[in-house]
Protein backbone atom coordinates (compact mmCIF):
# COMPACT_ATOMS: atom_id res chain seq x y z
CA UNK A 1 0.00 0.00 0.00
CA UNK A 2 1.05 3.57 -0.57
CA UNK A 3 1.94 5.67 2.47
CA UNK A 4 -0.86 7.93 3.61
CA UNK A 5 -0.43 11.69 3.69
CA UNK A 6 -0.30 13.25 7.15
CA UNK A 7 1.17 16.67 6.38
CA UNK A 8 -0.89 19.84 6.19
CA UNK A 9 -2.15 20.38 2.62
CA UNK A 10 -0.78 23.37 0.68
CA UNK A 11 -2.52 26.74 0.94
CA UNK A 12 -5.21 27.62 -1.53
CA UNK A 13 -8.79 26.65 -2.11
CA UNK A 14 -9.44 22.95 -1.50
CA UNK A 15 -10.87 20.87 -4.33
CA UNK A 16 -14.60 20.17 -4.14
CA UNK A 17 -15.49 17.15 -1.99
CA UNK A 18 -18.11 14.50 -2.41
CA UNK A 19 -20.76 14.28 0.29
CA UNK A 20 -19.83 11.85 3.08
CA UNK A 21 -22.68 9.63 1.95
CA UNK A 22 -20.80 8.94 -1.31
CA UNK A 23 -17.13 9.09 -0.36
CA UNK A 24 -15.77 5.57 -0.04
CA UNK A 25 -19.22 3.98 0.03
CA UNK A 26 -18.93 0.53 -1.62
CA UNK A 27 -22.71 0.10 -1.86
CA UNK A 28 -23.82 3.07 -3.90
CA UNK A 29 -27.50 3.24 -4.71
CA UNK A 30 -26.60 3.44 -8.40
CA UNK A 31 -25.97 -0.01 -9.89
CA UNK A 32 -25.45 1.74 -13.22
CA UNK A 33 -22.06 2.96 -11.96
CA UNK A 34 -20.81 -0.61 -11.62
CA UNK A 35 -22.24 -1.42 -15.03
CA UNK A 36 -20.36 1.49 -16.64
CA UNK A 37 -17.06 0.40 -15.06
CA UNK A 38 -17.54 -3.23 -16.07
CA UNK A 39 -18.55 -2.34 -19.63
CA UNK A 40 -15.43 -0.22 -20.05
CA UNK A 41 -13.28 -3.21 -19.09
CA UNK A 42 -15.19 -5.56 -21.40
CA UNK A 43 -15.26 -3.20 -24.41
CA UNK A 44 -11.54 -2.41 -24.54
CA UNK A 45 -9.05 -5.28 -24.65
CA UNK A 46 -6.18 -4.63 -22.26
CA UNK A 47 -8.20 -2.75 -19.65
CA UNK A 48 -7.52 -4.51 -16.35
CA UNK A 49 -10.03 -2.46 -14.39
CA UNK A 50 -11.10 0.97 -13.26
CA UNK A 51 -11.84 3.04 -10.18
CA UNK A 52 -14.30 5.86 -9.66
CA UNK A 53 -13.01 8.12 -6.92
CA UNK A 54 -13.48 11.60 -5.57
CA UNK A 55 -11.04 14.40 -6.32
CA UNK A 56 -10.09 14.03 -2.63
CA UNK A 57 -8.62 10.58 -3.37
CA UNK A 58 -11.36 8.51 -1.74
CA UNK A 59 -12.76 5.51 -3.59
CA UNK A 60 -16.42 5.54 -4.60
CA UNK A 61 -16.65 2.32 -6.65
CA UNK A 62 -14.31 0.02 -8.55
CA UNK A 63 -14.01 -2.82 -11.01
CA UNK A 64 -10.50 -4.07 -10.24
CA UNK A 65 -9.08 -7.56 -9.88
CA UNK A 66 -6.84 -8.51 -6.98
CA UNK A 67 -4.06 -7.67 -6.17
CA UNK A 68 -4.71 -4.12 -7.42
CA UNK A 69 -5.81 -1.88 -4.55
CA UNK A 70 -8.70 0.45 -5.48
CA UNK A 71 -7.94 2.83 -2.61
CA UNK A 72 -4.36 3.30 -3.82
CA UNK A 73 -5.55 3.91 -7.39
CA UNK A 74 -8.13 6.46 -6.23
CA UNK A 75 -5.38 8.28 -4.31
CA UNK A 76 -3.01 8.19 -7.30
CA UNK A 77 -5.79 9.53 -9.55
CA UNK A 78 -6.26 12.46 -7.17
CA UNK A 79 -2.53 13.13 -7.32
CA UNK A 80 -2.63 13.11 -11.14
CA UNK A 81 -5.63 15.44 -10.97
CA UNK A 82 -3.76 17.85 -8.69
CA UNK A 83 -0.79 17.97 -11.03
CA UNK A 84 -2.99 18.24 -14.11
CA UNK A 85 -5.01 21.03 -12.53
CA UNK A 86 -1.82 22.98 -11.77
CA UNK A 87 -0.52 22.50 -15.31
CA UNK A 88 -3.87 23.59 -16.77
CA UNK A 89 -3.94 26.65 -14.54
CA UNK A 90 -0.34 27.70 -15.24
CA UNK A 91 -0.75 27.32 -18.98
CA UNK A 92 -4.21 28.90 -19.05
CA UNK A 93 -5.65 25.92 -20.90
CA UNK A 94 -8.90 25.44 -18.98
CA UNK A 95 -10.05 22.66 -16.71
CA UNK A 96 -8.38 19.28 -16.23
CA UNK A 97 -9.82 16.62 -18.53
CA UNK A 98 -7.41 13.68 -18.79
CA UNK A 99 -3.92 12.43 -17.94
CA UNK A 100 -2.12 9.27 -19.02
CA UNK A 101 0.99 7.65 -17.56
CA UNK A 102 2.83 5.05 -19.63
CA UNK A 103 4.99 2.49 -17.84
CA UNK A 104 7.05 -0.48 -19.06
CA UNK A 105 4.17 -2.82 -18.20
CA UNK A 106 1.11 -0.76 -19.03
CA UNK A 107 -0.87 2.43 -18.65
CA UNK A 108 -2.69 4.43 -15.97
CA UNK A 109 -5.18 6.96 -17.30
CA UNK A 110 -7.26 9.44 -15.32
CA UNK A 111 -10.36 11.22 -16.65
CA UNK A 112 -12.39 14.02 -15.05
CA UNK A 113 -15.91 12.97 -14.06
CA UNK A 114 -17.60 16.32 -13.65
CA UNK A 115 -16.02 18.57 -11.01
CA UNK A 116 -16.13 16.13 -8.11
CA UNK A 117 -14.88 12.74 -9.28
CA UNK A 118 -12.25 10.95 -11.33
CA UNK A 119 -12.27 7.80 -13.43
CA UNK A 120 -8.94 5.98 -13.36
CA UNK A 121 -8.23 3.10 -15.72
CA UNK A 122 -5.40 0.57 -15.50
CA UNK A 123 -4.36 -1.15 -18.70
CA UNK A 124 -1.75 -3.59 -19.92
CA UNK A 125 1.02 -2.61 -22.32
CA UNK A 126 -1.05 -4.09 -25.19
CA UNK A 127 -4.03 -1.77 -24.71
CA UNK A 128 -5.07 0.38 -27.66
CA UNK A 129 -4.67 3.76 -26.00
CA UNK A 130 -6.43 5.62 -28.81
CA UNK A 131 -9.46 3.38 -28.34
CA UNK A 132 -9.34 3.96 -24.58
CA UNK A 133 -9.24 7.73 -25.13
CA UNK A 134 -12.20 7.41 -27.51
CA UNK A 135 -14.40 5.35 -25.16
CA UNK A 136 -13.48 6.60 -21.67
CA UNK A 137 -14.61 10.27 -21.93
CA UNK A 138 -18.23 9.34 -22.77
CA UNK A 139 -18.14 6.88 -19.84
CA UNK A 140 -16.87 9.71 -17.61
CA UNK A 141 -19.71 11.93 -18.85
CA UNK A 142 -22.31 9.23 -18.08
CA UNK A 143 -20.78 8.71 -14.63
CA UNK A 144 -20.97 12.47 -13.98
CA UNK A 145 -24.66 12.37 -14.89
CA UNK A 146 -25.21 9.42 -12.53
CA UNK A 147 -23.40 11.23 -9.70
CA UNK A 148 -25.05 14.61 -10.32
CA UNK A 149 -28.11 14.02 -8.08
CA UNK A 150 -25.85 12.91 -5.22
CA UNK A 151 -23.49 15.89 -5.38
CA UNK A 152 -26.12 18.41 -6.36
CA UNK A 153 -24.27 19.61 -9.42
CA UNK A 154 -22.54 18.39 -12.55
- The residue extents of the domains of the chain are 31-151
For 9-13, 24-28, 31-35, 118-122, which range has the lowest pLDDT when averaged over its residues? 24-28
Exposure string over 6-25, b if 16+ CB within 10 A, otherwise e: eeeeeeeeebeebeeebbbb
pLDDT at position 123 is 97
Q: Which residue has the higher pLDDT, 150 or 11?
A: 150
pLDDT at position 149 is 78
Across the chain, what does the average pLDDT equal?
Answer: 85
Backbone angles phi, psi at 120, to 5 degrees: -110, 140
Q: How confident is the model at residue 11 (pLDDT cuts 50, 70, 90)?
A: low
pLDDT at position 23 is 44
Q: Which residue has the higher pLDDT, 101 or 26?
A: 101
Secondary-structure class of domain 31-151 per CATH = alpha beta
Q: Which residue has the higher pLDDT, 148 or 4?
A: 148
Given a cut of 60, whether residue 99 has pLDDT beyond it is yes
Q: Which residue has the higher pLDDT, 137 or 1?
A: 137
User: pLDDT by residue (tens digit) across 22-65?
Assistant: 444 444 446 899 999 999 999 999 999 999 999 999 999 999 99
pLDDT at position 152 is 59
Q: Between β-strands 117-124 and 47-54, what pairing exists: parallel, antiparallel or unpaired?
A: antiparallel
Backbone angles phi, psi at 134, to 5 degrees: -80, -40
Amino acid sequence: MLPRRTAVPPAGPPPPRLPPSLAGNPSLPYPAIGTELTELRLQIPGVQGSVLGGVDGLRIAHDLPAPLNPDDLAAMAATAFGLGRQVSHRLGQGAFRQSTVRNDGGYFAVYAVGAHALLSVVGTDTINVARLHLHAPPVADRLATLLAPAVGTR
